[in-house]
Copies of this chain bind each other. A is one copy, B any other.
């Protein structure tokens, strides 16, 4: 309307086109930058975790230092945390409200505390550390390039995607994980380009750093019939309830330890460590310490203890509820795979297949990210059994209601 007469008629098209291309290039550039850094830190995280797990397994006495380690972690967060103690929830809230800032030190601190947790045998994984590092790095990029408020949130989501994609070797699931995890029942399409670039580049970079990912295989997949479809739907309800059980126990332990020991984060960590050590001696096994990957593999091959899933729920809820660091996704894999194996005694489906369904469904019920979890099943199991996994993700997502491990997930639309 206000267009000067002497501009050629195609100017607005050209301007629109240039605007589009420059926005796109911006996202590709920033996403790739985040991907390169996050991919490298994820490689550091994974390789160090592997190394520390080996050290712990070779030195049985190390677990006796769990109370000391818990105390040190509490000390670090108390005096140097600057609010980063709230971890994933802080990141999610920041994306919702866009107020304040994410402390850049959140990344390095969560890495150090994750290393301590792994060295001493806390039952934990990696996803929290990877996500928080991803968010910290994105925040660094935001400050460096003085990114505006709206774009900042998108880049923090990309940091989550980059962290997840590189930490689990699953670039497609990573892309959608960032877009889905922020709010329950909503997908942030506007973040799709930088999320994908960060996740894929992060994966390629961590692979280039020599990271190898665990792949679990199931022997055979039942042919699709109405019976098998209904069976998978029904067991997925059980998996979903297991995820709810875990989320609730963990929140409750955290609530209680916050209530009685929050004044003294150091004491809290010490108490958590003592409980873990006591549990190891009461149960007489170390199978539920650390990531527990050997038993996850076992669940795909032969039998596991009937209540292994319950033991892992308790070990992990205590580890995370008392302030140790790492992540909950690998413990959730453990819980799901062992529960699936146990259920194969009652249901006429192959144990390794049920372990696979359980691994995905328990993760999905806890994270509330159905499309991402489905993509993860494709990437982990190479596209096998996709209809079953879709059902498992859907059912688990629906039945976990508004429970989940990410307390700050916004509830955008109720599930039913």
Least Cβ distance of A374 to chain B in Å? 8
Task: For A416, list chain B residues within 8 Å (CB).
Answer: 20, 23-24, 27, 190, 193
Mark interface residues in A15-28 (1 if CB within 8 Å of B CB, else 0).
Answer: 00000100110010
| A77 proximity list for chain B (CB < 8 A) | none
Is A311 an interface position by the 8 A CB rule?
no
- Of chain B, the residue at the smallest CB distance from A233 is B28
Give residues 342-395 of A contacting B (CB, 8 Å): 370-371, 378-379, 382-384, 386-387, 390-391, 394
CB < 8 Å neighbour of A20 from B192, B204, B401: B401
Which one of B24, B386, B397 contacts A378 once the chains associate, using CB atoms below 8 Å? Answer: B386
Query: Is A68 engaged at the interface, CB distance under 8 Å to the other chain?
Result: no
Please report the C-alpha to C-alpha distance between residue A204 and residue B230 in the assembled complex, in whole angstroms. Answer: 13
Most buried by B among A20, A172, A189: A189
A398 part of interface (Cβ distance < 8 Å): yes
Q: Does chain B have a CB within 8 A of A185?
A: yes
* Partner among B171, B204, B387 whose Cβ is within 8 Å of the Cβ of A200: B387
Known: A20-B416, A416-B20. A386 touches B387 (CB 8 A): no
Residue of chain B at shortest CB distance from A413? B190
* Residues from chain B with Cβ under 8 Å of A189 in the complex: 185-187, 412-413, 415
A226: B residues at CB distance < 8 A: 204
Interface check A246, CB cutoff 8 A? no
Docked complex: A187-245 residues within 8 A CB-CB of B: 187, 189-190, 192-193, 196, 200, 204, 226, 229
A394 touching B196 in the complex, CB below 8 Å, given contacts A24-B416, A386-B172? yes
Q: Given A20-B401, A190-B416, list of 20 further CB < 8 A pairs?
A: A23-B416, A24-B398, A27-B416, A171-B387, A186-B187, A189-B413, A189-B415, A190-B415, A192-B370, A192-B397, A193-B394, A196-B390, A200-B387, A371-B371, A378-B378, A378-B383, A378-B386, A379-B386, A383-B383, A383-B384
